[in-house]
Amino acid sequence: MPNSVQFNEALPNISKSLEMYQRGLQVQSPITQTLAKGPGQFSKGVAPVYLQKGKGARVWDVDGNEYIDFNMGIGPLSLGYCIPEIDDAIQAQLKDGITFSLMHPLEVELAEILNGIIPNAEVVKYSKTGADVTSAAVRIARAYTGRDKVFCCGYHGWHDWYIGITSRSGGIPEGIKNLSFTFPFNDIESIKNALDETVACVILEPFIFEKPQNNFLQELAEICKANGTLLIFDEMWTGFRIALGGAQEYFGVKADLATFSKACANGMPLAILTGRKDVMSLFEKDVFSYTTFGGEALSLAACKATIEYMQKHDVIATLNSKGEWIQNEYNKLVSYLGMSEITSCVGYPCRSMLTYQAEGQNPLALKTFMQQELLQKGILWGG
């Protein structure tokens, strides 16, 4: 058959979205609080710009159009929008209060749960964003080792120590930029050659879409230990997704420190730092990392309820089985259409990505076209 598919559905009317966007441009800078949610990530003039509500896997934009959401809040909605068990836990806590003048029992109760499911969670610290806890992890690693340099691989937030080595490093002193270095994923030799007694920590996402090869994570842990360098897993995407205990559980590798957010509280703002007690004890005296809303009770209640829901319904198995089906069916379809050399679905079932590698073609144009055609089918997809 010919390698083409005909879509006849009309594109959604997004006039209210576009009007709201113009209003936002007058009073906001930047226009989006999360880069991955911004209009530059979606088909301009075709995709909605603002969503109004969600339920389960479906969302509605400000024009009333309904979509199946393949983005799920850019990661945090591991169970779906407005899950009754999670919402009930939030509402029950809301009746008692949100934040208090002293610590709340949920801080202890949740830490005990995390201690039982995350391999390195000897002790636990809370904050509000992934950037908060990755930065806290790097700071305490520097304090513990007495070293300054950081090796990193992946995306680790907006704070100076990391974003200073990217193209958007305005406002960051050169001295800070000169302390962080990147390395290629799966390239153990590059780390062996560069690691020395000046490196405080190696921080990385255990995987993004490329899978670890040749016991990369296990060997990395051994190299770091031998060098007196702390290993930090940034588990914003892997935590509560590849396994309940994250990549440490899945790959059988224990990091000195690990950071979590996104999927842990089904959309509520919570970030978690777990780690060795001897390292984390420095927060008690030498290292300062506190925030007013770190113990905010609604998010703690949501996290506790989310973990309990995941355990009761075996959500991890469901994520992987459905993700595997999508990967396999997509790759079978493109093979059937004779397009395997142009596009494929790669990564792990719980976090996959479509790739475009057509020679002589613009990958972003191909992605934009696919977004546009999926919108006609009522699917909101970011790529």
Hey, which residues are catalytic here? 155, 234, 262
Extract the tokens encoding 270. 């919570």
Kindly report the CA angle at 210 between 317 and 243, in degrees rounded to 5?
25
Give the helix/strand (H/E) hosting 225: helix 216-227
Residue 110 CB partners (closer than 8 Å, separation 6+): 124, 126, 300, 303, 304
Residue 269, both tokens: 């703002």
Check: CB of residue 331 under 8 Å from CB of residue 344.
yes
Q: What whole-number distance in Å separates Cα of residue 135 and Cα of residue 126?
A: 13
Using DSSP's 3-state secondary structure scheme, residue 293 falls into coil
Amino acid in the structure at residue 69: D
**Cβ neighbours of residue 345 under 8 Å, at least 6 residues apart?**
326, 327, 330, 331, 352, 353, 354, 355
- Of how many residues is the chain composed? 383
